């Protein structure tokens, strides 16, 4: 189960990122719809619209923002800053403007990143009615004393907030939730990588028989997760585990941020997978700062939702700038992230307790052909050890994850040993006590 080949998946995810890259997204508007329409080419995602003005917990769904064009022209009529060249040039949610002004006045609305003079920063102003343009520090320094024409052809009107949801039923109604934010414009790692990886993860899960039901949510950050939670409050009890999927395409090591509880099954499953991978990784404690785990782990919601990223938000220099582009994300990193997500699902799907059917003394493995002495030495020794651990701990109280943690043996080794021991009747699944 979940032993899925991911050889070409990195390229497939990358190709979807390339398609989504030019679209101007924000927390509402047609960019979100176009993005979900692309996702829909791969999975049958349900697209939901929540009207502006809807109360969602302590928040209100804002007016919908769409933009047709935006630029700054110099007195000679040249577009010196042009939204059509790069949608990061316009501060997201800028109100409409059509005005001439001098450099002094214009400067109050310009944003740069002096630490990285070639990059355009990404800025938003969702809840503060203003307008602004972002440009490189280099370009900013070349602006001369001139009269500028500023034009923002945007519309802020009653409409709706759009999100996508894809549900896959399993043999039980207990759910695993994946949430990814899709509100950023032309930025790749944050978070087209998350949108595209979630799409392909859903597509692969769809091909499997699963014990859990799966829910994949594509929504804007913060207001989107709050809206989703508020609209789906009755269903939350079914969610047993969850992950926020974000920044999964850079070449840095995987980073896991624990749930609010800190030692939930999802925390233990992810940490086990990262440990077994032998790859460099980092484990962060929960904090109420970051991505949408903040909402899922708010005290009145308190779901077991962790966050699995590569280099976390804010910790790579290209973060929230035009350098978070198609060069920053790599197909190989995307494939590696996908594989680790699938391994986490393998653990969650297979984690259960067993009963040793011959618990008095060690059962004689040799006569059942289980105690192997030939073959790759290391591998055989580990396999034998795995059987001894499983037999010893299978009193119905220790799950495979418990045994893996206690023994230090890789989880996959335990799965193989379980198969051998089950086939000869030495252990049985503890169905009365599944987890
Ligand atoms: Zn971001």
Q: How far is the CA of 412 from the centre of ligand 1 (A)?
A: 35
Distances from the Cα of 45 to the Cα of 7, 185, 361, angstroms = 25, 20, 53
Q: How far is the CA of 199 from the centre of ligand 1 (A)?
A: 19
Instruction: Name the pLDDT band for 5 (thresholds 50, 70, 90).
Output: confident
Q: What is the C-alpha R_g of the chain?
A: 25
Q: How far is the CA of 35 from the centre of ligand 1 (A)?
A: 17
Digit-coded pLDDT (tens) for 213-239: 999 999 999 999 999 999 999 999 999
What are residue 36's phi and psi, to 5 degrees? -65, -30
- Please state, for a pLDDT cut of 90, what percent of the chain lies above it: 92
pLDDT at 435 over 60: no
Tell me, what's the pLDDT at 376?
Answer: 58
Q: How far is the CA of 181 from the centre of ligand 1 (A)?
A: 9
Tell me, what's the pLDDT at 373?
Answer: 67
Instruction: Name the pLDDT band for 433 (thresholds 50, 70, 90).
Output: very low
- Mean pLDDT, rounded, for 10-18: 98
Tell me, what's the pLDDT at 370?
Answer: 85
* Contact assessment for residue 133 and residue 146, using Cβ atoms and an 8 Å cutoff: no
Tell me, what's the pLDDT at 3?
Answer: 72
Q: How far is the CA of 220 from the centre of ligand 1 (A)?
A: 10
Q: How far is the CA of 234 from the centre of ligand 1 (A)?
A: 29
Instruction: Name the pLDDT band for 323 (thresholds 50, 70, 90).
Output: very high
Length of the chain: 435
Q: How far is the CA of 118 from the centre of ligand 1 (A)?
A: 20
- The DSSP bridge pattern shows strands 64-73 and 147-157 to be antiparallel
Distances from the Cα of 323 to the Cα of 132, 186, 327, angstroms = 20, 10, 8
Where does 74-186 show beta strands of DSSP type E?
A: 79-82, 97-102, 110-111, 133-134, 147-157, 160-168, 175-181
- Mean pLDDT, rounded, for 75-98: 98
pTM as predicted: 0.96
Digit-coded pLDDT (tens) for 237-279: 999 999 999 999 999 999 999 999 999 999 999 999 999 999 9
Q: How far is the CA of 85 from the centre of ligand 1 (A)?
A: 21
- What crossing angle do the helices spanning 193-206 and 30-39 adopt, rounded to 10°? 30
Q: How far is the CA of 184 from the centre of ligand 1 (A)?
A: 7
Q: How far is the CA of 261 from the centre of ligand 1 (A)?
A: 25
Q: How far is the CA of 4 from the centre of ligand 1 (A)?
A: 30
- Mean pLDDT, rounded, for 107-134: 97
User: Which helix (DSSP H) or strand (DSSP E) does residue 59 occupy?
Assistant: strand 59-60
Q: How far is the CA of 361 from the centre of ligand 1 (A)?
A: 57
Q: How far is the CA of 386 from the centre of ligand 1 (A)?
A: 43
User: Of the candidates 250, 132, 133, 134, which has an alpha carbon nearest to the alpha carbon of residue 190?
Assistant: 250
Could you tell me which residue, 10 or 5, shows the higher pLDDT?
10
Residue 400 CB partners (closer than 8 Å, separation 6+): 347, 350, 351, 352, 353, 354, 390, 411, 414, 415, 418
């Amino acid at each position: 189960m979940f032993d899925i080949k991911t050889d070409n998946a990195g390229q497939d995810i990358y190709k979807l990122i390339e398609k989504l890259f030019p679209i101007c997204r924000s927390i509402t508007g047609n960019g979100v719809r176009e993005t979900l329409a692309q996702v829909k080419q791969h999975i049958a995602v349900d697209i939901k619209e929540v009207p502006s003005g809807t109360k969602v917990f302590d928040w209100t769904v804002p007016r919908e923002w769409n933009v047709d064009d935006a630029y700054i022209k110099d007195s000679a009529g040249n577009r010196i800053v042009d939204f059509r060249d790069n949608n990061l040039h316009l501060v997201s949610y800028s109100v409409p403007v059509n005005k001439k002004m001098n450099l002094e006045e214009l400067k109050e609305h310009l944003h740069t990143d002096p630490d990285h003079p070639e990059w355009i920063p990404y800025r938003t102003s969702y809840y503060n009615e203003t307008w602004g343009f972002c440009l490189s520090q280099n370009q900013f320094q070349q602006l001369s004393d001139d009269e500028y024409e500023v034009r923002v052809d945007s519309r802020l009107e009653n409409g709706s907030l759009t999100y996508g949801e894809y549900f896959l039923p399993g043999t039980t109604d207990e759910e695993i939730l994946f949430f990814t934010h899709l509100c950023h414009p032309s930025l790749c790692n944050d978070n087209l990588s998350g949108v595209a990886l979630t799409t392909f993860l859903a597509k692969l899960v769809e091909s499997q028989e699963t014990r859990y039901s799966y829910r994949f949510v594509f929504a804007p950050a913060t207001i989107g997760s709050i809206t989703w939670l508020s609209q789906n409050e009755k269903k939350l009890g079914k969610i047993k585990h969850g992950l926020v999927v974000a920044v999964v395409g850079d070449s840095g090591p995987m980073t896991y941020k624990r749930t609010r509880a800190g030692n939930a099954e999802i925390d233990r499953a992810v940490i086990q997978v990262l440990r077994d991978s032998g790859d460099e990784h980092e484990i962060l404690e929960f904090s109420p700062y970051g991505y949408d785990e903040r909402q899922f782990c708010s005290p009145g919601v308190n779901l077991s939702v962790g966050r699995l990223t590569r280099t976390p938000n804010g910790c790579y220099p290209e973060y929230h700038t035009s350098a978070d582009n198609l060069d920053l994300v790599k197909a190989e990193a995307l494939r590696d992230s996908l594989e680790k997500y699938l391994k986490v699902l393998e653990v969650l799907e297979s984690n259960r307790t067993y009963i040793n059917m011959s618990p008095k003394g060690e059962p004689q493995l040799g006569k059942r052909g289980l105690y192997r002495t030939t073959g790759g030495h290391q591998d055989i020794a580990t396999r034998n050890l795995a059987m001894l651990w499983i037999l010893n701990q299978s009193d119905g109280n220790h799950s495979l994850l418990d045994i893996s943690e206690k023994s230090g043996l890789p989880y996959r080794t335990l799965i193989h040993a379980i198969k051998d021991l089950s086939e000869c009747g030495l252990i049985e699944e503890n169905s009365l006590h599944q987890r």
